């Protein structure tokens, strides 16, 4: 695969926010991530709050520097490039859409200027070509021309997110990363924004990395689903298989509540909260909530199983059997004490 962006054993460790200046605590936000995104594909990222989804997104678009491991853009190591070259590679190669368009856009700039900014910064075209590009971008995302001079405060939430999408597309990137792009919007406009993203992806041949808590949306939007748990990628599954054929117990539990299962079931309960990213459990981080866990799971984090090959890979000592009906998993997953 000729990846647009590729992470190899990438880690992000933060100093704990609450610990004060001399805090020793570390937050393991991303641990050993390996992921390649191919041109034109949509990768959905799921996991509960705090599992590292946003960190992964920021690493992919070069706004978070990893503390270890590499990030390659079209085969070149991003963080060993000189800063100006890196900014150019990131700016032209990727676009990012954030959760809340009201905070992501400069409130003092009219739409026209917000969309021109990336063209100015990267010195794209003449003045009139830039103006033409702004018109083109507005049309692309369905914004009426009359809004070119409007400030973001005058726009609806959906229109603001359209501006944010247009800005992300300004330099014609190969990859767009959308971090919860609809969660701050009214329910009534969410579907419109998702359809717009899908439409743009098709028309422009974009690769899309889509982070969401909304399991159904992920299933609908993605070609491939990445499951994250406590900073680790624990499974990659073709989206069509994710509800019924996922092998990692955590993915099965996350997707168990979605409609459209081959055998509809009650949700598999996930007992207790996600453990702290400052003191993650030894071995497999999911073991404290997993109904299949034993001593092996406490001793060692499994690598991707030798039996699993892309596009389906999982890291689990006791994967769910392919033919194990999800019904049976509900019964097995009685609440238990952490081992």
Ligand X SMILES: Nc1ncnc2c1ncn2[C@@H]1O[C@H](COP(=O)(O)OP(=O)(O)OP(=O)(O)O)[C@@H](O)[C@H]1O
Binding site for ligand X (CB under 6 A): 14, 17, 27, 29, 47, 49-55, 277
CB of 9 to ligand X, least distance (A): 18
Question: 64 vs 159, which CB is nearer to ligand X?
Answer: 64
Question: 17 vs 24, which CB is nearer to ligand X?
Answer: 17
Rounded CA separation 86/74 (Å): 12
Cis before residue 311, ω within 30 degrees of 0? yes
Rounded CA separation 74/85 (Å): 14
Question: 115 vs 230, which CB is nearer to ligand X?
Answer: 230
The upper half-sphere exposure of residue 92, i.e. CA atoms within 13 Å in the direction of its Cβ, equals: 12
CB of 177 to ligand X, least distance (A): 12
Question: 159 vs 212, which CB is nearer to ligand X?
Answer: 212
CB of 231 to ligand X, least distance (A): 7
First to last CA, the chain: 41
CB of 28 to ligand X, least distance (A): 8
CB of 30 to ligand X, least distance (A): 7
Question: 6 vs 179, which CB is nearer to ligand X?
Answer: 179
- Is 41:223 a contact under the CB 8 Å cutoff? yes
Helices (H) and strands (E) in the chain, counts: 12, 11
- Is 215:254 a contact under the CB 8 Å cutoff? yes
- Is 210:178 a contact under the CB 8 Å cutoff? yes
């Amino acid at each position: 695969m000729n990846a647009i962006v590729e992470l190899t054993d990438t880690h992000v460790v933060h100093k704990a926010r609450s610990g004060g200046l001399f805090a020793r605590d570390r937050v393991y936000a991303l641990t050993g991530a390996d992921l390649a995104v191919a041109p034109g594909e949509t990768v959905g990222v799921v996991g509960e709050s705090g599992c590292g989804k946003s960190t992964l997104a920021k690493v992919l678009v070069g706004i978070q520097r990893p503390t270890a491991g590499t990030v390659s853009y079209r085969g070149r190591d991003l963080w060993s490039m000189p800063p100006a070259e890196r900014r150019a590679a990131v700016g032209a190669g990727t676009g990012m859409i954030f959760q809340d368009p009201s905070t992501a856009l400069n409130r003092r700039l009219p739409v026209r200027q917000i969309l021109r900014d990336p063209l100015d910064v990267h010195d794209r075209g003449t003045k009139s070509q830039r103006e033409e590009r702004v018109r083109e971008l507005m049309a692309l995302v369905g914004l009426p021309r009359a809004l070119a001079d409007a400030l973001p405060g005058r726009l609806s939430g959906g229109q603001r997110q359209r501006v944010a999408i247009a800005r992300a597309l300004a330099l014609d990137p190969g990859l767009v990363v959308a971090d919860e792009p609809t969660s701050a919007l009214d329910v009534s406009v969410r579907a419109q924004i998702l359809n717009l993203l899908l439409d743009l992806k098709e028309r422009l041949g974009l690769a899309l990395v889509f982070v969401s808590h909304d399991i159904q949306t992920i299933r609908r939007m993605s070609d491939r689903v990445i499951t994250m748990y406590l900073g680790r990628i624990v499974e990659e599954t073709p989206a069509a298989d994710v509800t019924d054929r996922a092998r990692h117990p955590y993915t099965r539990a996350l997707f168990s509540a979605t409609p459209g299962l081959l055998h509809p079931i009650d949700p598999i309960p996930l007992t207790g909260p996600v453990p702290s990213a400052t003191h993650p459990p030894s071995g497999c981080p999911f073991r404290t909530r997993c109904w299949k866990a034993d001593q092996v799971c406490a001793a060692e984090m499994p690598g991707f199983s030798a039996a699993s090959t892309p596009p389906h890979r999982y890291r689990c000592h006791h994967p769910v059997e392919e033919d194990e009906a999800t019904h049976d998993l509900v019964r097995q997953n009685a609440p238990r004490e952490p081992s």
